[in-house]
Amino acid sequence: MSPSDDIERTLAQLIAKVSGTDPVTLSAGRPLTGLSLRDELDIDSLAMVELTDEIETSYGLAIPEDNLPSLRTFGDVADYLRAAA
């Protein structure tokens, strides 16, 4: 499905930049929110560090490392950003 807001749109672009897998293309009609970062979007533990750097640079915020384990899906990260941004 298409991104529902600017946060999802930006997040999709950052994920595509980091892993080469575009969430919008991959979702093919499914909601973006349920996509697994690791299993579907090729964001392994090393790529998660890269994605965190990209998000922190784009949004000017710092994501504490303790929060990373709870970010498992596209929707987890989008919700986190909506709460933090």
Partner 1 sequence: MTSPDVEVVVTGVGATTPLGGDVPATWRGLLDGRAGASTLDTEWAREHGFPVRIAARLAVEPDGELDHVELKRMDRAEQLAVIAARQACRDADLADDTVDPVRCGVVIGTGIGGATTLVAQHDALREGGLRAVSPQLIPMVMPNGPAALVGLALKARAGVHAPMSACASGAEAIAWAWRMIVAGDADVVVAGGTDACITPAIMAGFTRARSMSTRNTSPGTASRPFDAGRDGFVLGEGAGILVLERADFAAARGAKAYGRLAGVGMSNDAHHITAPDPDGAGQCAAITTALRRAGLAAGDIGHVNAHATSTPLGDLTESVTIRRVLGDGPVVTAPKGALGHLLGGSGAVEAIATVLSVRDGLVPPTANLETLDDRISLDVVAGEPRRVTLTAAISNSFGFGGHNVTLAFAGV
Residues that bind partner 1 (CB under 8 A): 17-20, 46-47, 49-50, 53
Task: Please report how close the Cβ of residue 12 comes to partner 1 at its closest, in angstroms.
Answer: 15
Closer of 24 and 49 to partner 1 (Cβ): 49
Contact of 15 with 23, CB cutoff 8 Å: yes
**Token pair recorded at residue 3:** 């991104």
Closer of 33 and 58 to partner 1 (Cβ): 58
- Of 2, 4, 6, 5, residue with least CA distance to 23: 2
Task: Please report how close the Cβ of residue 15 comes to partner 1 at its closest, in angstroms.
Answer: 11
Task: Please report how close the Cβ of residue 49 comes to partner 1 at its closest, in angstroms.
Answer: 4
Closer of 45 and 70 to partner 1 (Cβ): 45
Rg (CA), the chain: 11
Contact of 68 with 38, CB cutoff 8 Å: no
